[in-house]
Structure formats: C-alpha cells, structure tokens
C-alpha cells in the first residue's frame, strides 16, 4: 500500500535519523550479507580478545556515616549500565566493583553521637548500601569494605612503597580543615558565612559550603607538587581521560595553577578510626589515600612479581560524582605515577541531582530515599529515568512528576503500547511476517518502509558510538527516538486496515509493516538490556526471541538477523498483568 505524498513527507521530516532512500530493492538475505554499517565502517562486536584483561568498571566507595540517597543510586546504575554493555558486546569477563568507605573522622564522630562503636556503625550502614546495590539490580562482582583486612594490607603496602621511593616526608601542617569533606583547604578556598539556621558566624569551603576549622598539626605529606608537569603532560596526551570534557578543562586549570604537597595522615589523638601509619602508631593514614587504594585491592594488589600483566588493573572506567573529581583525577593519578602503576583509562564524572535546585546532601537531610523511589516506580522505571535524565555536566532537578511523565510517555504509551498493538491482534501473524521478510518473499517496499528499515539498520551503530564515548544518556536517546519513530510509522501505515483486504497466510505489503515494527521492538529490546534488564528480557520473551546469548547479543541487533522469532515464549495475559509497562500506582 502506498501512502499519500503529504503523510509520507511529514513522517520523513519528523525523523531525525532519516537517510536518503535508495530506490533499488534488495532481498533481506542479500542486504544482510552486505550489511553496510559493518562493511562501511568496520564496526563489529567487541570480544574478550579485544582486551588483555577483563573490562573493569568501578563506582566510588560510598561513605557510611548516613543512609544512601538517590544520587548514590544514580552512580551505581550508571556504572552497571557500562558493565552490562560490555556483557552485551560479548565481554563476558567484565567486572564491576562497588562498596563502602568506612574509615575517617566523620564515621568516628557519627558513631560517638549514636553511642556505637565505629565498627558497629559500619556493619549496620554498610548493609543499606549493599541492599541498594541489590535492589537496583546492579550486576556487581564484588562489594568491598575498607575495614576488610585484605584492604588494610594493601593500603599499608601502598604506603610503604611511597615511602620507600621518597615521596613521603613529615612536616607541620596548618590550614582550614573540613571534617565533612575530609580535606584541607587553602585560605583562598574558604570564606566567612552565617549559618542560616542559627545566625552563627562560621568559615566554610567556597567549593562545597561545608564548615571548616583551623588545624595545626605535625603529620606526613605526599610530594604532590612533584607531579604537576607529569599530570599536565598526561592530560595533554590523553584528552579523553576525564569525561565529559568540561571536567577535564577544570582539572587542567586547577593543576596548571600549581599543586601543593598533600597532607596524608592525621594524629591518632584526633583520628583513631582508620589504618595506622606503618611503623608510627601516633599517626593514622588519611582517609582518601586509604579509600582510593580499594580499586587496586580488588585487582589483587600488591601484585606478585612477574604477574603484573595477569590482573584486571587498570580500571577501564571509574564512575565518580563531580564533587570528588579532584581526588580521582589529581591525587589518584599522582599516587599511581609515584609507583609506576598504570592509570585508569577513563574517569567518567557526573553532576548532581538537586531538589528545588539545591544539591541533595545527607548532612542537610535534603535527600530522596532510593528504596521508596524503586518501590513506587519499579527498578527499571527508575533505571530508565536516571539514565535518560541523569545529570552529566549540569545538575538536574529531581521530581516525582518528571519520573511519571518519562514512564508514561516513553515506556507505557511508547514501547509498551507499540508492543501490545503488535502482538495482541489476531489479524496478522508476526512469526509468518518475520519468515517472509527474512526469506525475501515479500513484495517491494514502499518509500516509508525503506525509511524505517534504514533507520533500524543504523540504530545499533549510533548507540555503540555513544557508549564508546561513555555517554549512556545519548545512547538511550537514540533507542527511544527510534521507538517513537516506529510508533508514528505504525499509526501512519494503519496495518489494521491493510489486514482487512489481504490473506494473513499469504505474503503481502502488510508483511513489511509488521516486520519493521517487530524488528524495532526486537532491536530496541536487545539494546535496552543494559538499561532495563528485567523489562528488556520480558519484551524479548513476548516477541519470542530465543533465550540464548547469541540471539540477545549486540551482534543480534542487526536488522533481519533473527529469522526464528514471533511466537511468544510467555503467555500474553490481558489487562495490567499482561502489560509490559502497567500504569503507575497513584498516591494522594
């Protein structure tokens, strides 16, 4: 069936992925044999052989002085998407590390305030973060705790090696110290303010707004200043080391302005909850030096001689919030350079979730309980929202209304509705249309059919480019853009009217429409697996895609590559129970 010129033009104009339409028609098997996006650009799936080690993704380890908030959930989900993407590509050895940071003055003070020992507080609060990682369906391979003896041994060895190489010395240190931030600030980085609640005068960090106090003490220092030129040279040679690039520019500016040596211990009289400095019981190792080594601990540090190439370090991607990029992008690389250890390949930083444009903070109580959010919107509903609207360079405001709108428009009314309209009618047979199309038994495509087909052929490549650039948000935008476009195609072609005048058991122009819609759902389902693992799996089950790695891999997202689906693997019930994305629960 040919559409009117006006309708065809309207749909082509509304498609941002539109490519020029080829007038020559080729049967699907021949097109598949010459699949242009693989031939033209050499894009193929990654395999474990592409890496000499497992692909290694980390989250920051989370501080356990208070309960997690939705910002922690976002970080975990972002890292999990990156790990699951590697699994989709075929990197079956991909690893994800998360965990908790359990030392430092904040823990010590929080435990005292609650009448608990620091260890008891850590044991209790650690479980809330572990429960969150499980609740959000994070495919983590290890949950590390800095109170583990294995980690303590790694930190002591790391310290001794820095000391052995002459990068540690003792000196008196004076400066403005923030207990909340666990760091010293120079005079240029603090300012006098008034506590809005009490009117009390105080000194706070300009960067974080946290209160600081003057501190003067004798402790150990790391020769950070010695690495200024090496760091700048590394940034210059590795311009994608920190992503997005906005954060790279910030770090380069900070380092270019000069680095001071870093205080890396605290007197045990002030801070007893931590790892003691080897050979000096009067000092406790600085919590950030302790914490950063966790990424090496899981990798097997200290590495046995001769085995350096057989561990999973360096990390391929380390996901961090923008408030800790200084620690991960300046201190951490300098520590590693000092010991001639490889640097992480990429640091992926993200911005903050805000409420009424104010940063979420455990200390102020301006937080969203992630467990409540998961219960209300479902884990894949939350994962979808966080990935689609998650802040990268600019902070994003969090609001339940935004989540509900994303869910309804993109998932319930978009992906879910199209799936139901495709699979529930008995006026066409999806399996037969798949067979006819993949065997070249259908009549010539219309212009609009070709346009949808070419869009779907290009989609995997577009998604892979964004994922290679560590931009899951844009990758998801491409997927959902294709879902929206195929919904318009569904409405424009009106296959229910076409079905009135064709034999459902004979190849016809209806087959192209049903096949394109089915392929859009199948390809989207495959590509959505890292983002929404449970819902994507159910979608593929509904379509009848075999539950094998081969049929649900990135390679299988090629248009027309699966000739054997179309009969659901699960019963398609009626009403809410049989719906991929049921209506959200309402609250007064």
Pairing of strands 317-321, 56-58: parallel
Per-chain mean pLDDT for the chain: 87
401: exposed, middle or buried (C-beta count within 10 Å: 0-12, 13-18, 19+)? exposed
Residue 206, C-beta contacts closer than 8 angstroms, at least 6 positions apart: 189, 190, 191
- The answer, yes or no, to whether residue 53 has pLDDT greater than 70, is yes
Question: Which pLDDT belongs to residue 573?
Answer: 72
Domain coordinates in residue numbering, the chain: 5-34+410-578
Q: What is the CATH superfamily name and number for domain 5-34+410-578? A: Isoleucyl-tRNA Synthetase; Domain 1 (1.10.730.10)
CA 539 remoteness from chain centre: 22
Residue 235 pLDDT exceeds 90: yes
Are 392 and 244 spatial neighbours (Cβ–Cβ below 8 Å)? yes
pLDDT at 22 over 80: no
Instruction: Identify the band that residue 174 occupies on the pLDDT scale cut at 50, 70 and 90.
Output: low
pLDDT digits (tens, 9 = 90+) for 513-532: 999 999 999 999 999 999 99
- Structure-token match 């010590």, residue found: 108
Say whether pLDDT at 27 is over 60. Answer: no
State the DSSP string of 430-485: HHHHHHHHHTT-S-PPPHHHHHHHHHHHHHHHHHHHHHHTT-HHHHHHHHHHHHHH
Residues, the chain, total?
588
pLDDT confidence of residue 501: 87
Instruction: Average the pLDDT over 452-474 and give the result.
Output: 97
pLDDT per residue over 406-441, tens digit each?
Answer: 999 999 999 999 999 999 888 899 999 999 999 999
> What is the pLDDT averaged over residues 2-20?
42
Mean pLDDT of 162-191: 78
Per-residue model confidence (pLDDT) at position 578: 67
Q: How confident is the model at residue 15 (pLDDT cuts 50, 70, 90)?
A: very low
The answer to whether 296 and 148 have CB atoms below 8 angstroms apart is no
User: Residue 576 pLDDT more than 60?
Assistant: no
pLDDT over 60 at 382, yes or no: yes
Give the CA count within 13 Å in the CB-facing half-sphere of 419.
28
Specify whether the CB–CB gap between 158 and 296 falls below 8 A: yes
Instruction: Give residue-wise pLDDT tens across range 102-160.
Output: 999 889 999 999 999 999 999 999 999 999 999 999 999 999 999 999 999 999 999 99
Q: Which of 128-137, 355-364, 505-514 has the lowest mean pLDDT?
A: 355-364
CA distances in angstroms from 529 to 81, 96, 466, 540, listed in the order given: 9, 16, 16, 10
Tell me which of 359 and 313 has the higher pLDDT.
313
Residue 171's DSSP bridge partners are 219
d(CA 176, CA 185): 5
Task: Show the tokens assigned to 168.
Answer: 């540690």
User: Residue written as tokens 């310290």?
Assistant: 159
Cβ atoms of residues 472 and 499 within 8 Å: no
Backbone angles phi, psi at 350, to 5 degrees: -135, 160
Percent of the chain predicted with pLDDT > 90: 74
Confidence band for 483, pLDDT divided at 50, 70 and 90: very high
The candidate with the shortest Cα–Cα distance to 2, out of 447, 358, 408, 351, is: 447
Per-residue pLDDT, 577: 55
Q: Which two tokens stand for residue 287?
A: 């919590």
**Angular region, 389: left φ>0, alpha ψ -120 to 50, beta rest:** alpha
Cα 206 from Cα 191, distance rounded (Å): 6
Q: What is the pLDDT of residue 40?
A: 32
Give the H/E segment covering residue 498. Answer: helix 495-498
**Per-residue tokens: 36:** 């242009």
Q: How far apart are CA 358 and CA 469, in angstroms?
A: 29
The band of 309, judged by pLDDT with boundaries at 50, 70 and 90, is: low
Q: pLDDT, tens digit, for every residue of 250-307?
A: 999 999 999 999 999 999 998 999 999 999 999 999 999 999 999 999 999 999 887 6
pLDDT of residue 99: 98
Choose between 44 and 380: higher pLDDT.
380
The predicted pLDDT at position 308 comes to 59
The pLDDT assigned to 320 comes to 98
- The pLDDT of residue 201 is 74
Residue with tokens 């903070």: 361
Q: What is the pLDDT, as a whole number, of residue 39?
A: 33
DSSP label at 51?
Answer: S
User: Using one digit for the tens of pLDDT, what is the confidence trace for 537-553?
Assistant: 999 999 999 999 999 99
């Amino acid at each position: 069936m040919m559409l009117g010129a006006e309708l065809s033009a309207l749909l082509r104009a509304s498609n941002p992925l539109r490519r020029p339409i080829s007038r020559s028609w080729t049967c699907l098997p021949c097109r598949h044999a010459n699949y242009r996006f693989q031939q033209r650009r050499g894009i193929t799936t990654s395999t474990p052989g592409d890496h000499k080690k497992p692909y290694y993704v980390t989250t920051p380890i989370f501080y356990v002085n208070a309960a997690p908030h939705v910002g922690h959930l976002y970080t975990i989900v972002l890292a999990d998407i990156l790990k699951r993407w590697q699994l989709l590509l075929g990197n079956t050895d991909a690893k994800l590390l998360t965990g908790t940071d359990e030392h430092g003055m904040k823990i010590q003070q929080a435990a005292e305030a609650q009448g608990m020992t620091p260890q008891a507080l850590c044991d209790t609060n650690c479980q809330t973060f572990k429960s969150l990682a499980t609740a959000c369906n994070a495919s983590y391979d290890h949950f590390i705790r800095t109170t583990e003896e294995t980690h303590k041994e790694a930190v002591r060895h790391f310290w001794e090696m820095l000391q052995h190489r002459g990068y540690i010395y003792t000196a008196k240190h004076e400066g403005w110290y923030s207990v909340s931030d666990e760091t010293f600030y120079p005079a240029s980085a603090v300012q006098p303010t008034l506590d809005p609640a009490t009117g009390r005068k105080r000194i706070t960090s300009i960067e974080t707004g946290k209160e600081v106090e003057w501190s003067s003490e004798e402790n150990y220092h790391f020769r950070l200043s010695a690495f200024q030129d090496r760091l700048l040279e590394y940034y210059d040679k590795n311009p994608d080391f920190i992503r997005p690039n906005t954060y790279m520019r910030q770090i380069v500016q900070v380092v270019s302005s000069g680095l001071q040596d870093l205080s890396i211990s605290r007197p045990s009289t002030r801070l007893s909850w931590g790892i003691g400095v080897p050979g000096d019981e009067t000092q406790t190792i600085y919590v950030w030096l302790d914490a950063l080594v966790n990424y090496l601990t899981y990798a097997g540090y200290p590495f046995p001689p001769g085995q350096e190439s057989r561990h999973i370090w360096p990390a391929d991607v380390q996901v961090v919030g923008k408030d800790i990029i200084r620690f991960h992008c300046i201190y951490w690389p300098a520590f590693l350079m000092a010991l001639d250890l490889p640097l992480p390949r990429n640091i992926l930083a993200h911005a903050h979730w805000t409420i009424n444009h104010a940063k979420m903070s455990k200390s102020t109580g301006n937080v969203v309980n992630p467990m409540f959010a998961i219960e209300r919107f479902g884990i894949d509903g939350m994962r979808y929202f966080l990935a689609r609207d998650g802040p990268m360079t600019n902070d994003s405001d969090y609001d339940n209304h935004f989540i509900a709108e994303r869910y309804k428009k993109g998932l319930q009314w978009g992906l879910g509705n199209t799936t139901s309209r495709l699979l529930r009618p008995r006026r066409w047979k999806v399996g037969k249309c798949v067979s006819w199309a993949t065997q070249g038994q259908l009549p010539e495509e219309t212009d609009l059919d070709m346009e949808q087909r070419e869009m779907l052929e290009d989609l995997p490549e577009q998604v892979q480019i964004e994922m290679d650039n560590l931009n899951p948000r844009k990758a998801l935008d491409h997927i959902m853009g294709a879902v929206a476009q195929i919904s318009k195609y569904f409405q424009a072609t009106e296959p229910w009217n076409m079905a009135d005048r064709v034999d459902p058991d004979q190849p016809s122009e209806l087959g192209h429409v049903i096949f394109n819609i089915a392929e859009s759902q199948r390809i989207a389902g495959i590509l959505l697996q890292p983002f929404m693992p449970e819902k994507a799996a159910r979608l593929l089950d509904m379509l009848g895609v075999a539950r094998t790695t081969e049929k649900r891999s990135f390679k299988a997202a090629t248009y027309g590559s699966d000739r054997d689906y179309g009969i659901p693997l699960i019963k398609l019930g009626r009403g809410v129970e049989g719906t991929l994305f049921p209506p959200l629960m309402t609250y007064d």
